[in-house]
A and B are shown apart, each in its own frame.
Chain A
Amino acid sequence: MPRARVPLTFGPGLDRATGTGARDARTLTDARNLIAREAGLELRTGLSGSGLPALTWGTDILAQQSVERTRDVLQVIYDRPTRELRVFRVNPVDPPTRQQVAVWGTLNASAKFPIITMAEAGGVVYMAHAEDIMAYRLVTKYWTPGANDTDTGTLTTASADFDGSGAPGDISFYGVCAYREYIAGWGWGTEAASITADRPEIVRLSKPDDPTVFPAELYFLCGSRSTRVIGCTPMPTGLLVASSTQRYTIFGTDPETFGVELTDPSHGIVSPRAWQTINGVAYTWASTGPRVTRDPMAPSEDLALPLDLMEAQPDTWPARGPAREAFAAYEPEQRVLYWVWPDLTAAEAARTMAYACSLRLPSSPRFTPAVFERRLASAGRYVTGKVPLPTTVGASGTISLTDLGWFEVSSGRTLRAQYTFTGAVGNETVEIWLKTGSTWALHATQAYAPGTLTTEFTGLDSLTSYSVAVRLRSFLGAYGAGFTGSNPDLWTDPTPANWRATLTTGASTPTLSVPVWSRTSNTTAPFTFDITGADARCPVVIEQDTGSGYTEVATVTRTGATLTATVNVHAIPGQTPNYRARHKRGVLTGSYSGVVSQFVGLLDVAPGIVAAYDISDPTANLRAVELFFRLPQARAVQVEFTDSAQQFIETAGISTQGYQYTTTLVGAGTVNYRLRVAREQFGVYDFGPWGTLQSMTVNPAGTTPGAITVDDQNFLPNAFNPSFSEGNFGIETRLVFDPDLQPYFLFYRVDVRYFGTLRFVILGRHPSGRFTLRTSDTGGPVNNYIANPEVLDGSYLNADDGQPVIDLLGARVFAIFQSGGSNRRGPYSTIV
């Protein structure tokens, strides 16, 4: 009879807790350095040389992982003697190289052994220092790879404006992890003050498309004010946020769907690194041991019981180190999750205790112990296969630039670059560099495509020289020979015409408005121009021509939607200069606008000459001239005679309906004269344009004025208001003139219905003479005698005898008698 057998398949791993009588016989009490399989055990992996350059600085590798974007290995190294932390980059090509990126900082002497978390999102890698004491905590940094594979990349201090002060402040997160497209950072409030900075319960998320930016409003409170978030574990549909005793879950995918809930009130996490998410399942180590979370909104499940952690462990197992130093690492080849318990703060220990959790059967994690013969401080993903960068990429072909003109929508000119390449592999990236002034900058990148590629540069300035250079970059960042560096002027490719071009942008042609003249002070009387069609940020020069050629008189630059310019024309009164404008920047110029002209001064038309009379006393040497003119509005009038100095007439009391001006002249003969309006402002006179030059003849002294006959309707036509029609403003004129006895007499009548006035103008005078005015339209002539004609100048002669009913206003009466005494009287003029 065959004996019975008990199969011991080993696969279930450790079970150190179940009572003797109830244990599964396949379970184990020890399986050191073996990993549980479905059935059986296999050797764990050992620690072998990576083939990467060894450290030449630092005692502890605090964090390390392959950067998914570049496949570089990024390491945070700590040096115990100097307490300095540095970041190194290992380029795992053949041969691999190691470069120091930057010094992160120096640890405070009182700080605990540094625990570092590292997370990658959006191509940058964040690093945070999990130090409880804020004053000892290092600022959070992120690494950005360089543009070229040979670059070490840069280490930047994370910053944000969380307090709304307008000035960003440095961030010191307690820890970081990547959640979906976000970087999650926790333990930081605002930069306003130390008391607001230390917010252990706050978890913040970056922008998903730019993890270097943390919006102030994107944060979550995960527990009370005193609850320190220790570690976060990302799951596909939620971020587990654990303190030492409880766990919250931030759920959602974007700010509109985000929320936070307490999902495991009994279990937290022991250290910022004691987690791994494998296949969407989160494994964490809580104070009671390892736990698994399959649903982020549900409490975690216990995995710790088989380990019987509270009881004594076999003597051959090293002691576990401090919980805060524990970390998790996943070895994908064996599907094993290690929870590693180093004692980093003790004197150098040779061995490290770890618990290997086989995830070959995800629904049934099984444990075995692992004893490492070295003190492990960190572990990270290592993505192999970074291939050596190709040394050649496609070559440049052609490049051309075109100025597409000014576009107001982009407030600038648009430059189009078109270029080709030859021999491209096909997966290159095109770098387009733009030089403004003397500075080159990488303007844009685009995927290579066969044929002609185009890039448009918008918002450029007019009359400015721009250069564009293009080159190809391989998938992994290499450039062709002669195209290295970030200054295309220093690229050494022998045919720069194939990849670099320069163009000076043009400028629009501005349009000048006819300027408006004004008086603003006693020394400034500007022309104001409205300029349309001018390019912003490009100077517009206005040129003036006063008859001797154009000169620049103003330069203005548009910064807003409109542009105006002023030119002080105080010094050129009475001229009508020409103006034109164009863009000008240094020696570069645009096209001229059309020419505009304007009179410098008042635009009032010159007074119209109504009549001019020689009223000289035949017996006097001084000759007298009387002018009649009209004014469209109340203005001073300047009269200029060719043989006299300029004189002014004040405006006070002047009617807008006309004015008389009398002057005395020396000499006789032909006298030229002209008039213009004048206005006094700020103590200076400005003038309108001169009227047409007029001429008259002044008799020499001793000459009796000859008879003047002015036909009816031909003299003073519409003198005072041209808007009146003839019918309403009839003028009847009759001159009766006898050089000996009759006065040199003129009268006319205006429409009494309107003016109520009958004005007489009697030309001629005699020192002792008088004249008789007979008016009659009903009952016969009435004589009015004026005793002293020479004093009647400026007075009114009223028809006070009531016959006829007329009102005589403003009559200026002169009588000229060639000879005769007081009783002599010339014949009456014809009655009109």
Chain B
Amino acid sequence: MAMIPAVGLLWGEGRAADYARFWLATATASDDGVAWGVRVETNDVAPGGLGGEALFTMAYLTVRAAAGATLQLTPILNDDDTVSRTVDGATVRVLQPRVTLAQQPGTPPELVVQTFEIPLLVAHERAGAPSYAVHPRAERLRLRIESIGAIGSGSFRVEQCELEYDLVRRSTFTSFTP
């Protein structure tokens, strides 16, 4: 049972055709039993500056959570969130790796810190068979991290993500250096 704070927040419903309901704000990833997910999308990171170019190799995602969840990472290159396209008859697909966090036991469940090393890859497939995969290369990249399916009970914190890259070309007009 979730702990109820001494002073909490009581939400009231506006409902057109049935008795309104009211709820207490509690640490659960659902609204009135309807599970909801989370979605984080970073702003663009351009290690070489705008006009530069980098090879984005890995993401190190640190999660401190008690709730079980499955997270999916989607690299978005140069503001293009298309994950699959066809190039010269081959399918170029941005891989969306997933990591799974186990539901921790206990009441309340204990928070556990986990860091996931997640390679960032763009796979080339031909005739349905993978031919090779490379790290995405782009001027800028942003990460989308979203939950897949229901999030378990307990706290869930996305604490940090480090984006690893190799600088290919630095823009001479760079005005921002991370």
Complex Cα–Cα for A804 and B45 (A): 158
Q: Are B13 and A43 in contact (CB under 8 A)?
A: no
Give the residues from 298 to 341 in chain A that come closer than 8 angstroms, CB to CB, to chain B: 316, 329-333
Complex Cα–Cα for A64 and B132 (A): 60
Q: Are A10 and B40 in contact (CB under 8 A)?
A: yes
Complex Cα–Cα for A315 and B129 (A): 34
Q: Are A25 and B178 in contact (CB under 8 A)?
A: yes
Chain A positions within 8 Å of B140 at CB level: 20
Tell me whether A802 is interfacial, beta carbon within 8 Å: no
Q: Are A348 and B27 in contact (CB under 8 A)?
A: no
Tell me whether B43 is interfacial, beta carbon within 8 Å: yes
Q: Are A376 and B13 in contact (CB under 8 A)?
A: yes
Name A66's closest neighbour in chain B (CB-CB). B10
Tell me whether A57 is interfacial, beta carbon within 8 Å: yes
Chain A positions within 8 Å of B38 at CB level: 31-34, 41, 43
Name A51's closest neighbour in chain B (CB-CB). B24
Give the residues from 60 to 76 in chain B that come closer than 8 angstroms, CB to CB, to chain A: 60, 64, 67
Q: Per-residue 0/1 for A45-83: is the Cβ within 8 Å of any B Cβ (1 yes, 0 no)?
A: 111111110111111111111100000010101001000
Chain B positions within 8 Å of A210 at CB level: none
- With contact pairs A20-B50, A58-B20 given, residues A5 and B155 touching in the complex (Cβ less than 8 Å): no
A803 to chain B minimum Cβ distance, whole angstroms, is 130
Chain B positions within 8 Å of A140 at CB level: none
Tell me whether A409 is interfacial, beta carbon within 8 Å: no
Name B61's closest neighbour in chain A (CB-CB). A8
Q: Are B159 and A348 in contact (CB under 8 A)?
A: no
Complex Cα–Cα for A55 and B20 (A): 7
Complex Cα–Cα for A330 and B30 (A): 19
- With contact pairs A21-B50, A385-B6 given, residues A39 and B159 touching in the complex (Cβ less than 8 Å): yes
Q: Per-residue 0/1 for A15-35: is the Cβ within 8 Å of any B Cβ (1 yes, 0 no)?
A: 100001111110111111110
Q: Are A21 and B176 in contact (CB under 8 A)?
A: yes
Name A15's closest neighbour in chain B (CB-CB). B43
A28 to chain B minimum Cβ distance, whole angstroms, is 6
Give the residues from 14 to 45 in chain B that come closer than 8 angstroms, CB to CB, to chain A: 14-32, 34, 36-45
A51 to chain B minimum Cβ distance, whole angstroms, is 8
Complex Cα–Cα for A371 and B30 (A): 11
Tell me whether B142 is interfacial, beta carbon within 8 Å: yes
Tell me whether B87 is interfacial, beta carbon within 8 Å: no
- With contact pairs A43-B67, A342-B14, A382-B9 given, residues A48 and B23 touching in the complex (Cβ less than 8 Å): yes
- With contact pairs A8-B45, A23-B44, A40-B157 given, residues A332 and B8 touching in the complex (Cβ less than 8 Å): yes
Chain B positions within 8 Å of A33 at CB level: 29, 36-39
Name B10's closest neighbour in chain A (CB-CB). A382
Q: Are A10 and B160 in contact (CB under 8 A)?
A: yes
Name B50's closest neighbour in chain A (CB-CB). A21
Complex Cα–Cα for A501 and B28 (A): 59
Chain B positions within 8 Å of A28 at CB level: 40-43
Q: Are B32 and A47 in contact (CB under 8 A)?
A: yes
Q: Are B13 and A61 in contact (CB under 8 A)?
A: yes
Q: Are A47 and B11 in contact (CB under 8 A)?
A: yes
Q: Are A48 and B26 in contact (CB under 8 A)?
A: yes
Give the residues from 120 to 171 in chain B that come closer than 8 angstroms, CB to CB, to chain A: 140, 142-144, 151, 155-167
Tell me whether B89 is interfacial, beta carbon within 8 Å: no
Tell me whether A347 is interfacial, beta carbon within 8 Å: yes
Chain A positions within 8 Å of B34 at CB level: 373-374
Q: A381: which of B4, B10, B45 is its contact (CB, 8 Å)?
A: B10
Chain A positions within 8 Å of B41 at CB level: 28-31
Name A385's closest neighbour in chain B (CB-CB). B6
A79 to chain B minimum Cβ distance, whole angstroms, is 9
- With contact pairs A25-B42, A28-B43 given, residues A6 and B176 touching in the complex (Cβ less than 8 Å): no
Tell me whether A383 is interfacial, beta carbon within 8 Å: yes
Chain A positions within 8 Å of B40 at CB level: 10, 28, 30-32, 34, 41
Q: Are B10 and A380 in contact (CB under 8 A)?
A: yes
Task: Count contacts on B: residues with CB < 8 A to the other chain.
Answer: 71
Q: Are A8 and B161 in contact (CB under 8 A)?
A: yes
Chain A positions within 8 Å of B144 at CB level: 30
Q: Are A8 and B162 in contact (CB under 8 A)?
A: yes
Name B40's closest neighbour in chain A (CB-CB). A31
Q: Are B9 and A375 in contact (CB under 8 A)?
A: no
Tell me whether A3 is interfacial, beta carbon within 8 Å: yes
Q: Are B43 and A23 in contact (CB under 8 A)?
A: yes
Q: Are B44 and A20 in contact (CB under 8 A)?
A: yes
Tell me whether B172 is interfacial, beta carbon within 8 Å: no
Q: Are B16 and A80 in contact (CB under 8 A)?
A: yes
Name B43's closest neighbour in chain A (CB-CB). A23
Chain B positions within 8 Å of A381 at CB level: 7-10
Q: Are A348 and B16 in contact (CB under 8 A)?
A: yes
Chain B positions within 8 Å of A25 at CB level: 42-43, 45, 178
Q: Are A375 and B158 in contact (CB under 8 A)?
A: no
Chain A positions within 8 Å of B46 at CB level: 20-21
Q: Are A377 and B163 in contact (CB under 8 A)?
A: no
Q: B20: which of A4, A329, A377 is its contact (CB, 8 Å)?
A: A377
A317 to chain B minimum Cβ distance, whole angstroms, is 10
Chain A CB within 10 Å — which of B4, B20, B36 has the most?
Answer: B20
Chain A positions within 8 Å of B67 at CB level: 43
- With contact pairs A22-B176, A52-B22 given, residues A4 and B167 touching in the complex (Cβ less than 8 Å): yes
A57 to chain B minimum Cβ distance, whole angstroms, is 7
Complex Cα–Cα for A49 and B23 (A): 5
Q: Are A373 and B36 in contact (CB under 8 A)?
A: yes
Complex Cα–Cα for A75 and B160 (A): 41
Q: Are B50 and A374 in contact (CB under 8 A)?
A: no
Tell me whether B57 is interfacial, beta carbon within 8 Å: yes
Q: Are B10 and A48 in contact (CB under 8 A)?
A: no
A55 to chain B minimum Cβ distance, whole angstroms, is 4
A647 to chain B minimum Cβ distance, whole angstroms, is 104
Tell me whether B12 is interfacial, beta carbon within 8 Å: yes
Tell me whether A486 is interfacial, beta carbon within 8 Å: no
Chain A positions within 8 Å of B5 at CB level: 332-333, 384
Give the residues from 358 to 375 in chain A that come closer than 8 angstroms, CB to CB, to chain B: 371-375
Name A379's closest neighbour in chain B (CB-CB). B11
Tell me whether A344 is interfacial, beta carbon within 8 Å: yes
Complex Cα–Cα for A223 and B33 (A): 47
Tell me whether A582 is interfacial, beta carbon within 8 Å: no
A753 to chain B minimum Cβ distance, whole angstroms, is 113
Chain A CB within 10 Å — which of B25, B140, B142 has the most?
Answer: B25
Give the residues from 443 to 475 in chain A that come closer than 8 angstroms, CB to CB, to chain B: none
Chain B positions within 8 Å of A379 at CB level: 9-12
- With contact pairs A4-B47, A22-B176, A40-B64 given, residues A46 and B36 touching in the complex (Cβ less than 8 Å): yes
Q: Are B16 and A23 in contact (CB under 8 A)?
A: no
Q: Are B14 and A37 in contact (CB under 8 A)?
A: no
Name A62's closest neighbour in chain B (CB-CB). B12
- Which residues of B does A touch, CB under 8 Å? 2, 4-32, 34, 36-47, 49-50, 57-58, 60, 64, 67, 140, 142-144, 151, 155-167, 175-176, 178
The 8 tightest CB contacts between A and B, nearest first, are A61-B12, A377-B14, A47-B23, A40-B159, A373-B31, A382-B10, A30-B41, A348-B16
Q: A8-B42, A45-B25 are in contact. List 7 more A-B contacts (CB 8 A).
A: A6-B47, A46-B29, A47-B25, A48-B23, A378-B12, A383-B7, A384-B8
Sample of 26 A–B contacts (CB below 8 Å): A3-B166, A4-B164, A6-B162, A6-B165, A9-B159, A10-B161, A21-B50, A21-B175, A23-B44, A30-B40, A32-B39, A41-B157, A42-B158, A43-B151, A55-B19, A332-B5, A332-B9, A344-B14, A372-B31, A373-B32, A376-B12, A380-B12, A381-B8, A382-B8, A382-B9, A383-B6
